[in-house]
A = this chain, B = another copy of it.
Amino acid sequence: MTAVPADWIAVDWGTTHLRAYAMGAAGKLAEASSTEGMGSLGRDQFEPALLRLIEPWLGPGTTRVIACGMVGSRQGWVEAPYRSTPCLPVDPAALLRIETRDPRLAVHIVPGLSQSQPADVMRGEETQIAGALAWMRNFDGVLCLPGTHSKWVQVSAGEVVSFQTCMTGELFALLSTQSVLRHGIGEGWDEAAFQTALSDTLSRPERLASRLFSLRAEGLLAGLPPATARARLSGLLIGMELAATKPYWLGQPVALIGAEALSQTYGSALQTQGITARILPATECTLAGLAAAQEVK
């Protein structure tokens, strides 16, 4: 943690983590993070948790802090009502100003987006989308943000037109660590097993229901290697997601925003369907989106 006065401070505040970045004219000056995520904080604890990270970056005057993510949810610091799609992913005029006790802070929250039909919501991804569009101006196509709750986002003329969430990452975590399948799933990867399983549920999605327990049975009967089981579970679930989101990606330019390994996995899955997806770095998208949010006062 470097003690530098920042021009402004970018904050990505999710359920389990708080990440802060001191920003200057040339970009990122310093960064800091903690596990004081929204999920572990009461309403009064947000300001102290933030100050613990960013105090060294505050100058003599007021510093703007732009935050995105679950910090703006009902259980967060202050609820920032969703903005309805279709709309710009981030609107600098629609930030929510939060009152703080420390007069050096001017904290603003980026609101999430909602869609009424089919019902869907996002918080945090709208900022990454804005960041991606700051780089790829005039991008008309689909953004995929894989993760705990993967988002597929149709973007046109700088706006979010529609989006769809799949709980693929959460399902993978629950099945591989909490279900009976945990006994047979281990570290490592088997690309061939991933591809076969992917193609299986992509073409016959209903097979997911019966293929899951096969992982356990093959472990018991045929000694299925734990790395193969892991890759196959991932393939089954991502295959299901691609089957569900086919109206999004089919024949469209696709860009992926996410953790690098996961984006590679999704990229390899899309490649089997003839889609070459561009991969964008997640943190840089978040920072570019927060920068776009604070451009206009």
Contact = CB atoms under 8 A, between A and B. Distances in A.
B119 A218 contact: yes
Interface in A114-160: 114-116, 118-121, 149
A168 interface: yes
Contacts of A268: none
Contact of A205 (B116, B171, B208): B208
Interface in A239-294: 240-241, 243-246
A165 interface: yes
A116 B221 contact: yes
Interface stretch (A29-37, A51-59, A174-182): A174-182
Given A166-B213, A179-B170, A179-B174, A244 B206 contact: yes
A209 B240 contact: yes
A210 B245 contact: yes
A121 B205 contact: no
Contacts of A214: 118-120
Interface residues of A, number: 44
Given A114-B221, A119-B218, A121-B220, A178 B174 contact: yes
Copies of this chain, count: 2
Given A116-B221, A210-B164, A178 B178 contact: yes
A224 to B, nearest CB: 8
A180 B167 contact: yes
Interface in A89-116: 114-116
Interface of A: 74, 82, 114-116, 118-121, 149, 164-168, 170-171, 174-175, 178-181, 205-210, 212-214, 216-218, 220-222, 240-241, 243-246
Given A114-B220, A149-B180, A174-B178, 11 more contacts: A115-B217, A118-B210, A119-B214, A119-B221, A121-B220, A149-B213, A167-B212, A170-B179, A170-B180, A178-B178, A205-B206
12 contacts: A116-B221, A119-B214, A119-B217, A119-B222, A121-B217, A149-B180, A166-B209, A166-B210, A166-B212, A167-B179, A170-B179, A210-B244
